Amino acid sequence: MSTRPRHYLGLLDRYRDRLPVTPGMRIISLCEGNTPLIPLENLSREAGHDVKIYAKFEGLNPTGSFKDRGMTMAVTQAVHEGTKAVICASTGNTSAAAAAYAARAGVRAFVLIPEGKIALGKLAQAMIQGAVVVQIEGNFDDGMRIVKEMADAAPIAIVNSINPYRLQGQKTAAFEIVDELGRAPDYHCIPVGNAGNISAYWTGFSEYAAVSPRTAACGFCTDACAFPHPAVCDTRPVMVGYQAAGSAPFVRGGPVENPETIATAIRIGNPQSWHLAWAAVNESGGWVDELTDEEILKAQKLLAEREGVFCEPASAISVGGLLRDIKAGKIKPGSVITCTLTGHGLKDPDTAIKQSDGAVLRIPADTDAVKRAILDRM
């Protein structure tokens, strides 16, 4: 009897019994998922009220964002159906993931991005991974409209989150959280843009809660397993979504014409998963709120400085919003809270450097000068 765990092969392998994976399917994977659930010890202590805050750091997926979860499933299905090309509109991360999985599958990727409003790292990813990058003189919502029309005109698979296979893949993040904690969190906080991810998490938490006590193996285990085993869990978290103030259709109650925010990943005025997201928020007794760009940047910096976690601005909104809601008394004392940090900070070096202006000391290449500079700051 072997006690050595198998090599981790990605989330379609690990959760295949809960996903539309069929026998013999060629799985297109970069070993995505299995991201860390980092206890934010300093921020939890400082927030008080006996809360425990965890960050699901999705920036540690292969292309640096949660999109890989959805893309492994969507591209696997597209290839299974014989598709030769995929297309998406994107604020950046979807395009990076689509390009990567298409490259791996050997199919073409066409990505539509808003001109001048995409973080540098994301653009670099789509370019080097061989996607056909189309910059449109418009925003994400324009791109989404065009992509839907294109798919009617050409044999090409849309891999935006309107593709139901995307949400299937993304729901596994909720499975991992419950498996890791051994229970569902009391609250789950998440950035909302096109609103696919909040919908996917709700599906995941709901599916796990519906099978109680759960008996299925985690899909990864054989006889021994280095990963947490599935927990018995019949509860679901309160779902809390956060949007950028200039791009907050859920807070306004309808589409926003010209969305604007420093958090370009969620610069979206007309979310495609509108009804699914409202269902998640309402069924869970949750809410959606907005943060200003200033609050978003402050949260990004706080996470980096106090916890050593560098996520992109759009991701930090989940922790920034949560800390504000704890202060406002909206979170029950003693709660376990998980926050999704959707993308890595390295995606957007420009914003990080601008935020940290003045943090680099310029001094002569001289030991005494360096000594003085360091000793002054000890």
Residues within the interface to ligand F0G (CB under 6 A): 65, 67, 90-94, 161, 191-197, 265-266, 312, 314-315, 342-343
Alpha helices in the chain (DSSP H): 11-14, 41-47, 67-80, 93-105, 120-128, 140-153, 164-170, 172-181, 196-210, 249-252, 274-284, 293-307, 313-327, 349-355, 367-375
Task: Tell the smallest beta-carbon distance from residue 365 to ligand F0G (Å).
Answer: 39
Task: Tell the smallest beta-carbon distance from residue 263 to ligand F0G (Å).
Answer: 8
Return the number of the residue (192 or 337) whose C-beta is nearest ligand F0G.
Answer: 192
Task: Tell the smallest beta-carbon distance from residue 351 to ligand F0G (Å).
Answer: 12
Looking up tokens 């709120």 gives 289
Task: Tell the smallest beta-carbon distance from residue 143 to ligand F0G (Å).
Answer: 9
Task: Tell the smallest beta-carbon distance from residue 262 to ligand F0G (Å).
Answer: 13
Pairing mode of beta strands 52-57, 37-39:
antiparallel
**Distance separating alpha carbons of residues 200 and 166, to the nearest angstrom:** 9
Task: Tell the smallest beta-carbon distance from residue 82 to ligand F0G (Å).
Answer: 25
Tokens of 267: 């610069």
Return the number of the residue (65 or 284) whose C-beta is nearest ligand F0G.
Answer: 65
Task: Tell the smallest beta-carbon distance from residue 242 to ligand F0G (Å).
Answer: 10
Handedness of CA 207, 209, 210, 216 (dihedral sign): positive
Query: How many alpha carbons fall within 13 Å on the CB side of residue 371?
Result: 3
Return the number of the residue (221 or 346) whose C-beta is nearest ligand F0G.
Answer: 346
Return the number of the residue (83 or 160) whose C-beta is nearest ligand F0G.
Answer: 160
**Distance separating alpha carbons of residues 246 and 376, to the nearest angstrom:** 42
Measured between alpha carbons, how far is residue 305 from residues 302, 313, 375 in Å?
Answer: 5, 14, 21
Beta bridge partners of 340: 56
**Quick count: other Cβ atoms within 10 Å of Cβ 252?**
12
Return the number of the residue (91 or 203) whose C-beta is nearest ligand F0G.
Answer: 91
